[in-house]
A and B are shown apart, each in its own frame.
Chain A
Amino acid sequence: MQEEIKQRSNLFATSVDYVNRWGIVIAIILLIGVFTALMPQFLSTSNLVSILQSISIVTVIAIGLTFSLSTDGFDLSVGSTATLASSLVVSMFVWYSMPTAVSIVAALVITLLIAAINAFLIVKVKIPDLFATLSTMFIFEGVAMTYTGGGSISEGMPRLDGTPTNGKLSETFTSMGQAPTIIIIMVVVVILAHVILTYTKYGRYFYAIGGNQEAARYSGIPVNKYRTIAYFLSTLLAAIGGLLLAAKVGSAQINSGAGYLMPAVAAAFIGSSFRGLGKPNAIGTFVGAILVGVLENGLVMLSVPYYSLNIIKGAVLAIALASTYYKKS
C-alpha cells in the first residue's frame, strides 16, 4: 500500500517536473490545437510562415535581452533602440541617398552609443539596471523623435530643413524584411546566440556573473568587461531588430520599436523555464517568442480587437514572470 502511494507520488512528481520542463511547448501545442479547431486555416503554410515572419523582430530583440538577462542585468531601452536604429537607417537611405552597406553600418554604429551610455550608467555609476535603462529608454525615444522632427520618414519626404530628397530604400534592404530572409536572419541569430551562451567561455562568464557577481569577480572574471559586452550585445540586437522593422515596413514610424519591448521581455522570461534550465537561454527565448506569436496571430484571426490584445499579452508576461520567480521564494 505504502509502496503504491510512494509510486503514485513519484509519478506525480515526475509529471510535475515534466510540465515544468516542457510547459511552454505543451502550451504552444495546446494553443495551436485550439486555434486550429476554431479556424482550420490557422494551420495553413501561409499562416505559419506569417507567424514566423511576425515573430522575427521580437525574437531578435528578445535574444539581445537574453544576453543582458544572463548577466542578471536588464535592458528596458531595447524598444527605443529599435526605433532609433530604424529612423537612422531610413534617413540614411531617404535623406542622404547612401548605399545599403553604409546605411546599415552607420545606423548600427550610431545606435551602439546607447549601449555605451547604458553600460556607463550601470557598470560605472552603478545605477540599478532597471532605472538606468528606464531613463535611457526615454532619452533615446526623444532623440529618435527629435532626429525625425517628431514625425515619420518615408520615401520622397524632404529633410527637416526643407531640402527635397529623392533617396529610396534599396531592394536588398527591403527584402531583408520579407520572408524568407527575415526568418533566416532570425534563425541565424538564435543559433549564434545559443552557441555563444552554451559552448563558449563567454557564455559561461555571463552566467557566472548572473549567478553571483561577487563570486565571479573573486574567480578572476573581469566582471565589468563582460557586463559591458552584454549590454552592447543587447543594444546591437535591438538595433538589428529596428533595421528589420524598417525593412519590413519600408519607412520609419514614430516610436515604432516601443511595441516590441513587452513581447520581447515576455519571450525571454518564458524561455527561462524551457527544458527546466531556469536561466535565460537562446532556444527558450525563441520558443517563448513563438508562444507569444501564436497567441497574437490566433487572437487577431479570431477578430479580437488590437486594442484589447495588450490585456492578453500583459497577462502572458505576468504568467511568465510568475514561472520564473515563484519557485525562487
Chain B
Amino acid sequence: MAQQQIKLKMEDISIEFPGVKALSNATFELETGQIHALIGANGAGKSTLMKVLSGAHDHYTGQIYMNHEVVEIRTPRDAKKLGIDIVQQEVDSALIPYFDVAENIMLDSVVNNSKGKAWVNWSRLHEDARKILERLGTKIDTKKKVSELTLAQKQMVLIARALVDEPRFLILDEPTAPLSQKETSELFRIVKELAAKHLVGIIFISHRLPELFEICDEITVMRNGEVVSREKIDQITPKQVVEQMLGRSMEEAEWKQPASIGKQIFETKQLTQKDHLVKQINMTVHSGEIVGIAGLVGAGKTELCKTIFGVLPIQSGQMLLHGNTLDIHSPADGVAEGLALVPEERRKEGILIDEEVYSNLSAANLSKFCRFGFLKQGNEREAARKMITDLDIKTPSENQKVGLLSGGNQQKVAIGKWLMTDAELFLFDEPTKGVDVGAKSDIFHLISRLAKMGKGIIYATSELAEILAVSDRIYVMYDGMIVKELVTKETNEEEILYYSTGGN
C-alpha cells in the first residue's frame, strides 16, 4: 500500500470552557507512520487537544494543517473525512452491547453509507468485519454479541471500527488502562503494524511511562493546557518526562515510612466465592502491614476484595477479624464489622458524584453525626473541613459537588470517607487508577499513614512497580487463586510476573 506521507500540524490551539482555559496555544505535530506519545497529568489538556483534533469541539482558536494546507475540523465528520479517527477511553460507551461484533464494527459505515439503501446486506457486513479483524490479526467471532466479549476484545472491536475507513491518523486514548500485560503486548503488536505497514500515524495517550518508551517514536508532554516539550523518545528519559509533567523535579523520595508490623488481625480460611471467581483463599494480614495482591487483569483481585467486603456472595470458607468469625452478606455487614473498601470503579462505586464533598465523606458513618436519627450538620461539616485539610483535598469548599473535582481528589474523598469510620482492615483496589502523579504520592503517603496507625491493609494492583514500592508482603493471584506468597524485599518484577502468568 503505497500511501502518500502526510504531515499533520496543530498550531496555537486554544480553547476555553466556562471558567477554565483548557488549552492555551498548544502546538502538536505528527506524521503518518509514526507512533507519537502524548502524556500529561490529569487535567493537562491531552484529551481536550485530541478532542479538538477529532472534531468534538468547534469553538477553539488556532489552525490545523495537513501538508501545510489549512484544514477545517469542527465536527467528527470533518475529522473522519480527513482520515482522523479516535478510539475513546471508555469502550463501553461507544459500543452497543446487544449488537454483534460485525454490526458494531460496521456501525459507522452502515450509518454513513446507507443513504438510499434500506436493506442490510448481512453476509457482506460480516465479510467486511472479518477482513478488518484479520488485518488486525485477531480472531473474534463476528457473530458474537459484544456484551459477551472481554474488555480487550471490545477494544479490538473499537479499533477495528476505526479502521473501516482506512484512517491516516488514529488516536488511542489510554488504550492499555484496562488491559492485562498479555493483551497489552498484543495491542502493541497491532499498533506497530498499523504504523509500519499501513503508514497510519498513531497518537498514543497513556499514563504508563514504560510502555510509551517501549513503542513510541516521539513524545509530547503537556502541562496545564500547554505543550511543554516534544522530543524523540531516545533523547529523553522517563525521569525527565515525569519532571516535565510535574513542572518540578521529583525526588525519588522514600515515602514509605516503615510501620512496625504487629500481630495478625485478619485471616481467611479456604474462602471461596459462590461463582468460583475466587477459590480457596488463605491469607493473613497483620496490624500495620500492607499486603499486596498482585496478578494480571482478570486474575481475581477485584473479586477477592469484593468477596471479603460482602459485595459478592461467599460459597464456603471463613473470615476472621481479631479472631472473631465474620458473618458478612452485604457491604453493610462488612462496614459494620470494620472493613473498608476503596473500589476500582471510583465514579460508579466509590463516590456519589452529584453529592457534596461533605456528604460523601460522612456517607459511610453517618450515625456518628446523628442523635436519634437526626443529623448534626454542624459537626458533619466541621469533620469534613478537617478531613479536607488533613488529606489536602483540592476543593473550593466542603459544599462542592464531588463530580467536579479532579480524579485524584475524588479518590481522596473516596478514601477519606473510610477514615471517618473505625475500620480496622482497609481494602484498596487499584487506588491510583486515573490519578495523576502528584495525587498518587499523596495517596501512597496516606496508605502508609494508615499502616502506621496499626490498621491492616490489602492493596490490589496490577502495576508491578507500585506493588513493590507499597507492600510488605505480596500474594500473587492467578485464575482466582493465590498461587504464591512473596516477601516484597526479597522479590522483583520478574518473579511476580512469572507467577502472575501461571508459572510455578
Contact = CB atoms under 8 A, between A and B. Distances in A.
Query: Which of B334, B367, B369, B375 has most chain A Cβ within 10 Å?
Result: B375
Contact of B352 (A202, A208, A222): A208
Nearest to B421: A220
Interface in B310-360: 311, 330-332, 334-336, 341, 343, 345, 348-355, 359
Interface in A183-210: 199-202, 204-205, 207-208
A123 interface: no
B425 to A, nearest CB: 13
A219 B330 CA distance: 11
B364 A219 contact: yes
5 tightest CB-CB pairs across the interface, nearest first? Answer: A220-B335, A222-B332, A219-B363, A201-B366, A219-B364
Query: Which of A215, A217, A220 has most chain B Cβ within 10 Å?
Result: A220
Interface string A216-246: 1111111000000000000000000000000
B332 A221 contact: yes
Contact of B363 (A200, A202, A214, A216): A216
Given A201-B373, A201-B375, A218 B359 contact: no
Contacts of A214: 345, 348-349
Contacts of A216: 352, 363
A221 B330 CA distance: 9
A208 to B, nearest CB: 6
A171 to B, nearest CB: 36
Nearest to B340: A220
A199 B363 contact: no
Contact of A211 (B336, B354, B362, B364): B354
A219 B370 contact: no
B336 A220 contact: yes
Contact of B370 (A201, A217, A218, A222): A201
A147 B350 CA distance: 48
Query: Which of B336, B349, B351, B367 has most chain A Cβ within 10 Å?
Result: B349
A220 B332 contact: yes
Given A201-B373, A202-B373, A214-B349, A222 B330 contact: yes
Contacts of B370: 200-201
Interface residues of B, number: 32
B347 to A, nearest CB: 8
A212 interface: yes
A222 B366 CA distance: 13
Interface string B366-379: 11011001110100
Interface in B370-393: 370, 373-375, 377
Contacts of B9: none
Given A199-B375, A217-B331, A218-B343, A211 B352 contact: yes
Contacts of B154: none
A86 B286 CA distance: 62
A217 B349 CA distance: 8
Contact of B350 (A218, A220, A221): A218
B331 A220 contact: yes
A205 B366 CA distance: 9
B46 interface: no
Contacts of B374: 199-200
B244 to A, nearest CB: 34
Contacts of B330: 217, 222
B417 interface: yes
Interface in B111-135: none
Contacts of A208: 352, 355, 359, 363
Given A211-B355, A218-B343, A220-B332, A201 B367 contact: yes
